Structure 1
Amino acid sequence: MNTANFNLPKDVAKILVDPIAQTDLERLHAAYTWMRANNAFGRATIDGFDPFWVVTKHADVSAISRDNNLFHNGDYSLTCRPKAAINHIIATTGCPHIVKGLVHSDGDEHKNLRALTQAWFMPNSLLKLDGRIRTFATSIVDKLQQGNGNVVDFAKDIALYYPLHVIMDILGVPPEDEPRMLMLTQELFASEDPELKRARQGVSASPSDMGKALMAVVADFNDYFERVIADRRTNPRNDVATLLANAVVNGKPLSNMQRIAYFLIIATAGHDTTSSSSAIAMWALSRFPELLPRLKADPSLIPQFVDEALRFASPVRHFMRTATADTEIRGRTIRKGDWLMLCYGSANRDEEVFENPFHFNIDRKPNRHLAFGIGGHVCLGQHLAKLEMRILFEELIPRLQSVEPAGEMDLVASCFIAGPKHLPVRCIVH
């Protein structure tokens, strides 16, 4: 068959690159559901974008994620951006990435970079942080208690700050700089959101302007972490910043781009996705009243509650991969150099894997969600994210007497990483 026979309808394809459309979860998941049923491996051809294949089934997302030789992260943009934005980034950096580090690398380069910090984020190492994280979690619950009976924006005022404080503590960023890290993270991941983007004038900026804004955000990150690197080389401490400032791979220091990229990925992805998933967990508690008494009666269910919140949230909308050779998937011929969009939110609602996928069910065992990805590029901080969420709700649920919605959840306008921007709830905490 001709490639055109596999093309997605224009109105369906456009949702995949429309940040405003993706704030409507019902509309987004209706598109995913249609694709899984009718064109599970379709091709999107959208004006202003390079064509790309859209991977919507759990099995296909898993298989492609595991085949790191056939499908690369680093050969082209890892996120689906307009061609003009990618061209601006290439003209500025010499590659299709605003920075090129851990998540943008493949093969031995990726393995070596990942090995630098992997020990910090393994379960045995994280056990040492349990007490510190629990102290942070307790302070968050205390903050909720202070507003008893009043409406609180759990996403904006609570969920954002808990994982931010944890990861900055591990990285070695002082508390007084956390607001700056949060602002830069939002400007990077929510570059298309009119409330959070660097240029606050709306979503009408041109694709090339988007590329310029992203590069400006990265420049600010670079300026900050250059000072951190200089300090840790003179005054080493027991933190990840010291490790990265002095890191050597195969006898050679990291390049400046690799080092800054590493700082950036930990300082951004290390908290943003966890805050989104934590907010979705609170949304579930407010919307499904049977959950709270069940979790209070049996706290051993909290890890399952966390996993289901991660599946439901799927805060990373997508990552892109680039084929390194011709291959065939679901009867489609994928050519070398073709671009593929892995849709994690769709995979996590796949009816072949999850019974009643739109039902929030904490009894799923095993819960085979792909919120952290899978394979060689599985999220480095997955164990930390689960630990943070588990501890937060272990501290909150015994003290939470009631919670109810106080308005509609408002999502970040983003096609890449998105979660609740506002979640008004009314709760009683003792």
Structure 2
Amino acid sequence: MADPTTYADDSRLHDALALLRREAPVHWVEAPGFRPFWAITRHADVMEIERQPELFLNAPRSVLVPSAMERWIAEHGTNFHTLESMDGTEHRMVRGIGADWFNPRAMRRMDGRVTELAKRYVDRMLSFDGECDFVTDIAVHFPLYVILSLLGLPESDFPRLLSLTQELFGNADAESGRGRDPQDFIAVQQDLFGYFNRLTADRRATPTEDLASAIANARVNGEYLSDFDAASYYILIATAGHDTTSATIAGGLQALMENPGQLERLKADPGLLPSAVDEMVRWVTPIKCFLRTAVEDYELRGVTIRKGDALLLSYPSANRDEDLFDDPFLFDVARTPNRHLAFGFGVHYCLGAVLAKMETNAFFAELLPRLDSIEAAGAPELSATNFIGGLKHLPIRYKLRPGGSTSS
């Protein structure tokens, strides 16, 4: 549950999670190098906890990191202060800063731009002469461009922010991370804070009509966000806002390649695309877990959770729960209903869920009608991460028809 390499091996991960669901769905974990926690693996139990944010808090430990890194962060005061670490009134007020930018009405205004960018990146596949690494060449760039454009950042900065995002979420991965020492992780944080502190100063001096300006100039209880809190907000939007979607797009394409009958079914009936997108999100589950802390003793499935205990909500496990999903290990583009928890639930439901589904829908709506054939051109590779991630490489070979190109 704690080992990042587990999440780089889907079979190992899901065998372990299925065992826990059967034998010990509420399981005490003492992993070497980590503070202990309860692993919550059933969909119903994750929902029970998510429905009671007053009893199970995000603070003080919302993300699973090694004890040594926790101590280092506490000593140096460099931990992010983002929505996933907030509770109650503070969470509600800070979430409200960006909520209007991500509601369905605002997303409808973005639909044309997202469609235009989807065409650009499907067209880009033509430039690779029928073979590419879909993750590094296509999937990571399209949602990055969308979210950073929404923030109003210059395109020249996109490669740097992509690199920092990969180092942040892939810090445990030998290829993606800057290093395994806490100092390396802190250095990535400091680079991100430095960039976004400069952005805050710029937008306060010269306000614009973008999300970055809205964050920089927002007031909570009559006061600006601190530079630290503003930078944390930017980091949440700019990093999680694209890394999760790129993982869904890449993992969704892999699932279609490995299930050619479902690929042909979706190509024959584009009306299935909304349900297919939800199935891709369930299948990939880019966010692996969040932690909650119990504020009082609580009984769950006959197990007593003590006040102060941490609970790890395992979203990949909840999304393959046999009690809720028919044939949970079947990738089904027409799965309805699909009550997955990949976006969380309740007051902490993902702020960017509508945008993530819009982007995924737009990309496959452009790709599938133009796709004549596709196959693996090498072994796919998953990132080693126990927080956010998915495929880091997906070599593919394909035949793609030209379409109307776009420019911007």
Q: TM-score, normalised by structure 2?
A: 0.96
Q: Measure, in 1, the Cα distance between the counterparts of 2:82 and 2:210.
A: 19
**Partner letter of residue 124 of structure 2?**
K
- Secondary structure of the structure 2 residue equivalent to 1:398: helix
Of the three residues 321, 329, 336, the one matched with 1:350 is 321
Q: Measure, in 2, the Cα distance between the counterparts of 1:250 and 1:390.
A: 38
Q: Measure, in 2, the Cα distance between the counterparts of 1:163 and 1:55.
A: 31
Check if 1:293 corresponds to 2:274: no
Q: Measure, in 2, the Cα distance between the counterparts of 1:291 and 1:30.
A: 24
User: 1:185-200 counterparts in 2 under 5 A?
Assistant: 185-199=165-179
Check if 1:147 corresponds to 2:131: no
**1:7 aligned residue:** none
Check if 1:421 corresponds to 2:392: yes
For the Cα contact (< 8 Å) 2:200–2:230, is it kept in 1?
no
**1:237 aligned residue:** 208
**Partner letter of residue 157 of structure 1?**
D
Identical counterparts, % of pairs: 46
Check if 1:129 corresponds to 2:110: yes
**Partner letter of residue 53 of structure 2?**
N
**1:12 aligned residue:** none
Shift in Å, 1:193: 0.5
Of the three residues 289, 306, 320, the one matched with 1:318 is 289
Of the structure 1 ranges 266-275 and 291-300, higher mean CA displacement relative to structure 2 is found in 291-300
**1:160 aligned residue:** 140
Q: Measure, in 2, the Cα distance between the counterparts of 1:45 and 1:102.
A: 27
User: 1:231-380 counterparts in 2 under 5 A?
Assistant: 231-380=202-351
* CA deviation map 1:9-59 (0-9, x unaligned): xxxxxxx12122321110010000000000000100123221100000000
**1:41 aligned residue:** 26
For the Cα contact (< 8 Å) 1:286–1:425, is it kept in 2?
no
Check if 1:119 corresponds to 2:119: no
**1:13 aligned residue:** none
**Partner letter of residue 285 of structure 1?**
L
* CA deviation map 1:187-245 (0-9, x unaligned): 1100010111113xxxxx4xxx2x32222111111111111112111221111100111
For the Cα contact (< 8 Å) 2:132–2:396, is it kept in 1?
yes
Of the three residues 169, 174, 178, the one matched with 2:149 is 169
Of the structure 1 ranges 406-415 and 378-387, higher mean CA displacement relative to structure 2 is found in 406-415
**2:87 aligned residue:** 106
Of the structure 1 ranges 290-299 and 389-398, higher mean CA displacement relative to structure 2 is found in 290-299
**1:83 aligned residue:** 67
- Secondary structure of the structure 2 residue equivalent to 1:320: strand
Of the structure 1 ranges 291-300 and 230-239, higher mean CA displacement relative to structure 2 is found in 291-300
**Partner letter of residue 19 of structure 1?**
P
Q: Measure, in 1, the Cα distance between the counterparts of 2:82 and 2:11.
A: 35
Shift in Å, 1:125: 0.6
For the Cα contact (< 8 Å) 1:102–1:258, is it kept in 2?
no
**1:25 aligned residue:** 10
User: 1:378-393 counterparts in 2 under 5 A?
Assistant: 378-393=349-364
RMSD: 1.1
Q: Measure, in 1, the Cα distance between the counterparts of 2:93 and 2:126.
A: 45
Shift in Å, 1:296: 2.3
Q: Measure, in 2, the Cα distance between the counterparts of 1:45 and 1:147.
A: 47
**Partner letter of residue 139 of structure 1?**
R
Shift in Å, 1:147: 2.6
Check if 1:183 corresponds to 2:163: yes
Shift in Å, 1:283: 0.5
For the Cα contact (< 8 Å) 1:313–1:419, is it kept in 2?
yes
**Partner letter of residue 84 of structure 1?**
A
Q: Measure, in 2, the Cα distance between the counterparts of 1:29 and 1:418.
A: 16
For the Cα contact (< 8 Å) 2:197–2:227, is it kept in 1?
no
* CA deviation map 1:129-179 (0-9, x unaligned): 111111110011111122343x21111111000000000000111111001
* CA deviation map 1:329-386 (0-9, x unaligned): 1111111110010000000000011111111011211101111111111110000000
TM-aligned CA distance change 1:60 to 1:296, over 3 Å: same
Q: Measure, in 2, the Cα distance between the counterparts of 1:338 and 1:330.
A: 16
- Secondary structure of the structure 2 residue equivalent to 1:20: helix
Q: Measure, in 2, the Cα distance between the counterparts of 1:255 and 1:336.
A: 31
Shift in Å, 1:293: 2.6
- Secondary structure of the structure 2 residue equivalent to 1:401: strand
Of the structure 1 ranges 252-261 and 21-30, higher mean CA displacement relative to structure 2 is found in 252-261
- Secondary structure of the structure 1 residue equivalent to 2:96: helix
- Secondary structure of the structure 2 residue equivalent to 1:169: helix
Q: Measure, in 2, the Cα distance between the counterparts of 1:81 and 1:29.
A: 21
Q: Measure, in 1, the Cα distance between the counterparts of 2:32 and 2:253.
A: 38
Q: Measure, in 2, the Cα distance between the counterparts of 1:260 and 1:46.
A: 32
Of the three residues 35, 42, 54, the one matched with 2:39 is 54
**Partner letter of residue 57 of structure 1?**
R
For the Cα contact (< 8 Å) 1:410–1:423, is it kept in 2?
yes
Of the three residues 47, 53, 68, the one matched with 1:68 is 53
**Partner letter of residue 42 of structure 2?**
K
Q: Measure, in 2, the Cα distance between the counterparts of 1:47 and 1:222.
A: 31
